[in-house]
Structure 1
């Protein structure tokens, strides 16, 4: 990677190529849709839509009597008018469980299933797709608008408790419970791993934001660092002295490492001396947290939820939590942390005594 290209630019280049690859697998008229929604959607949303539409058209070719006579590339815009709301509902039912050939070994198959959240995302894509062409009077019908969204049941927030957080950091520092093989590698990554986990637990940073942090983004006089949010805007996150200590310890070790060319400014490096990637961080988090609890599946996002929960408990200010976590809509934050308000109400009910014991 050339040194004059930032992590965000490199990532955007890769995402752009991935989107083009997916669009090329779709009917030709779909390109117009993706160009049309570009100003109002993120590239991640468009990539997600491209996967969903590829799946939808693939389903039609395999299961619809009319489309079975065509390949995906032979489908034209007017063909959309031949799809009924019942066809879309059948696709929704299909998503409950389906089997596909293994990409690398066609003789083997893989089983897939979607919960209501996954089905709702795909239906939102199809609705947006039809709405785009219907609004521009390119098609005369919009069957997707008649299909009901699946009901999504909110799941409770999964997070680490205070004692689990302390134990997690203790395990990384001491190496306790790690295997001999893990310990051999961990002596090179201990300071880095503590810094990564401290950032998650002390700032609520997203994993995609964390891997993009550069050394030059950090100001220890300010106890803050610059990040690029999902929408592309830059903000400063602040950290405590405890997080500062973890970062300084790691950076002192980081100075002794010679990065691969192009990664000189990257904060967190892999053992290959390149910028660490999202998957490696996810694996790191799972490795350590599985030693703390085997009942919770903890991901980087769950560590983010842990921070959000602790911040809300300490401040009681949902707007501060929404701002620090980078939620565009405070209702998203309220929805996720409403359970904490319920805990407080339960505590309040027990405080007031009607009769002395």
Structure 2
């Protein structure tokens, strides 16, 4: 049976496209919940209210993966599906079982496909997320009295590598200029790419400018609508993580590239049904997908980098580019933190630490001998007239001191 078309009755301030995206994720969550034991329903309700929608989906996927591991890779249960696992099986688990699962199984495992087997390898960040999801799960079971022991205290820590400023991938300011020149002139594109560029150059430039000016997340840009922008007020609205609505200012450069795109390209397209308000359209008249935007960014960033298209930077690297560039131009880390919506200022500090020649700038601006000389000369000028020390200061020295101060 084909699925019915969903009609939106939207009384919230969120645009319809975001409401639809959230509904798709909710349906994914519910589909996973139906595959899990029924006695976990209160836990599913807890996740709805405790974490963001994306985190809820990630935690449910991790839980299903873990329970499938119990079914397929261990002798702990006779169940053939995760939904059949009894609560008693979970009650018998020890911390060492979770540590083995995390350290031995999750680190590297094989997934069978129709034609090939795929070797899956998780790095520390992925393992840390899986550990977190299981910690939340078992803490909930213990708190609600569903299991007898709090086994999470015995979970082995997952050591995450400390982010290093020198490892941040971003474009330098001169590379941003090369990228924008490529999108404006077509320089560096192949003959086939130039055919598409002729039809999308204003759109592509607007996308790259939004990324490098505001450091938008990919999802934030993909969700933009025509109605998101109020040029009369000089602002536009975006929806950030955890559903936060934020008004962003529009500067002259962004207003110019967006109006060029809307007038010279977008008005020539025929949006498909339900896509009339989407800001960035494909040539087929549909909202540009996350995948299409990612490929576009990789294409244009590969030109200043001098790499193959697939080795170009992702939109997230343009977010890092925006953060570093703003700090290079002298904005404080707190201003940049606010613009980019970093939860913790230490994240923003990484970009400050990555400034080129930062140490040299600091040291050159702090010449101790110069400051010492200024202090001595100030003292000389403060001495009473006719004093012996005053006579030792020449007119030229007094003039030099005045100029320096």
TM-score when normalising by structure 1: 0.91
Range moving further from structure 2, 258-267 or 340-349: 340-349
* SS of corresponding position for 1:267: coil
| Alignment match of 2:73 (pick from 26, 44, 63) | 63
Task: After TM superposition, list the pairs within 5 Å mapping 1:77-226 onto structure 2.
Answer: 77-93=87-103, 94-102=105-113, 105=114, 107-155=115-163, 156-226=167-237
Task: After TM superposition, list the pairs within 5 Å mapping 1:1-357 onto structure 2.
Answer: 6-67=16-77, 70-93=80-103, 94-102=105-113, 105=114, 107-155=115-163, 156-252=167-263, 253-293=265-305, 294=307, 297-334=312-349, 336-337=350-351, 339-340=353-354, 344-349=358-363
Q: Is the 8 A contact 1:3 1:263 kept in 2?
A: no
Range moving further from structure 2, 2-11 or 53-62: 2-11
* SS of corresponding position for 1:237: strand
Q: Is the 8 A contact 1:3 1:261 kept in 2?
A: no
Distance 1:142 1:278 in 2: 41
- Distance change >3 Å, CA 25–CA 221, structure 1 → 2: same
Distance 1:122 1:3 in 2: 35
Distance 1:269 1:291 in 2: 24
Q: Which has the higher contact order (CA 8 A, sep 6+)?
A: 1
Distance 1:48 1:28 in 2: 19
Distance 2:81 2:273 in 1: 45
- Say which one has the larger Rg: 2
Distance 2:149 2:360 in 1: 51
- Distance change >3 Å, CA 258–CA 28, structure 1 → 2: same
- Distance change >3 Å, CA 143–CA 126, structure 1 → 2: same
* SS of corresponding position for 1:195: helix
Distance 2:193 2:315 in 1: 20
- Distance change >3 Å, CA 226–CA 353, structure 1 → 2: closer
* SS of corresponding position for 1:290: helix
- Distance change >3 Å, CA 247–CA 84, structure 1 → 2: same
* SS of corresponding position for 2:242: coil
CA apart distance, 1:159: 0.8
Deviations 1:266-324 (A, max 9, x none): 11111220111211111111122122213975111111111111222334422211211
CA apart distance, 1:163: 0.9
* SS of corresponding position for 2:303: coil
Range moving further from structure 2, 176-185 or 114-123: 176-185
Distance 1:319 1:255 in 2: 39
CA apart distance, 1:143: 1.8
Distance 1:261 1:287 in 2: 29
Deviations 1:125-175 (A, max 9, x none): 000000111111221112233113211113332111001101111111121
Q: Is the 8 A contact 2:135 2:152 kept in 1?
A: yes
- Distance change >3 Å, CA 30–CA 284, structure 1 → 2: farther
CA apart distance, 1:349: 3.5
Distance 1:64 1:100 in 2: 17
Distance 2:63 2:225 in 1: 36
CA apart distance, 1:108: 1.9
- Distance change >3 Å, CA 342–CA 98, structure 1 → 2: same
Distance 1:267 1:128 in 2: 39
TM-score when normalising by structure 2: 0.81
Q: What is the number of residues matched between the two proteins?
A: 352
Range moving further from structure 2, 27-36 or 12-21: 27-36
Structure 1 unpaired stretches of 5+: none
> Runs in 1 of length 4+ with deviation above 4 angstroms?
1-5, 350-356
Distance 1:318 1:129 in 2: 36
CA apart distance, 1:70: 4.3
